[in-house]
Amino acid sequence: MLFSREFGQGNPVLILHGLFGFSDNWQTIAKGLATNHLVVTPDLRNHGRSPHTDSHTYPEMAEDVLAFMHDHWMFHGQIVGHSMGGKVAMQLALTHPDAVEKLVVVDMEPFQADDNHSGIFEALLGLDLSKITTRQEAESYLGERIADFGTRQFLLKNITREDDGRFSWKMNLPVLWKHYQDILAPVSGNPFDKPTLFIRGARSNYIKPEEIPLIKPLFPQAEVISIENAGHWVHADQPQELLRILHDFLD
């Protein structure tokens, strides 16, 4: 069973986080939408407090979300997914369209993704948590290998201290690396012919302008909106503008 957090009440909206993320990452947006909706933010498999498994593919993650919805008596809902979570949301819509009323994909396209994370994986796998005694040591180590401060702070949220004082990862880092090619893989299925919104950060290269027309065969009703002054982490860069767009579409 996937771990989750809930906000508000009403028609359900599920928000699916991206790679290295977990349910806390979207609290600001979730609370903003909770004025009109029951907003649920699950941890996807191998992330946060959800089960750590030996496999990590989009068909499996889509089935995880479907089972989670049914276990919570949500037989259909509006699905928002960011990055890797966007591909999970698309896979769910393409294979179980009855479960999805509306689809929002934040800064991800359905195709084979570029490799933007090998360097991050290398840095994380090189950090031996058994040998550090403070978070500052971990931050210093990553600071020498990952230039962007925001990215480092986002990743450091995955470090937790156990009851015995030792540090560990919240995510299943070895399995995520083992299945990194599955994370980059495209999604597939029958076309999803319901309201669909793709939101891209104008400073991000995850949804390439030349590939936008290629989205239509899989998502015939797709609309694409760009948010200025936002990169891949749209919800961190421009939360109020993203929230406004989500309200307009979901409400």
Residue 183 CA: distances (Å) to CA of 46, 86, 99, 110: 12, 11, 23, 11
Residue 2 pLDDT more than 90? yes
Give the pairing type, strands 37-42 and 4-7.
Answer: antiparallel
Which tokens in the block code for residue 75?
């037989």
- What length does the chain have? 251
Which CATH code is given to the segment(s) 4-114+186-250? 3.40.50.1820
The mean per-residue pLDDT over the stretch 55-66 comes to: 98
Give residue 171's pLDDT: 97
Give residue 125's pLDDT: 97
Tell me what the pLDDT averaged over the chain comes to: 96
The domain ranges of the chain are 4-114+186-250, 118-178
How many whole angstroms separate alpha carbon 247 and alpha carbon 143? 37
Residue 15 pLDDT more than 90? yes
**Interior CA angle at 83 toward 81 and 84, to 5°?**
85
pTM metric for this prediction: 0.97
The mean per-residue pLDDT over the stretch 198-204 comes to: 97
User: Is 197 within 8 Å of 105 (Cβ atoms)?
Assistant: yes
Residue 163 pLDDT more than 90? no
Q: Tens of pLDDT along 81-118?
A: 999 999 999 999 999 999 999 999 999 999 999 999 99
The mean per-residue pLDDT over the stretch 7-12 comes to: 96
The distance in angstroms from the start CA to the end CA of the chain is: 29
Residue 73 pLDDT more than 90? yes
Q: Tens of pLDDT along 205-220?
A: 999 999 999 999 999 9
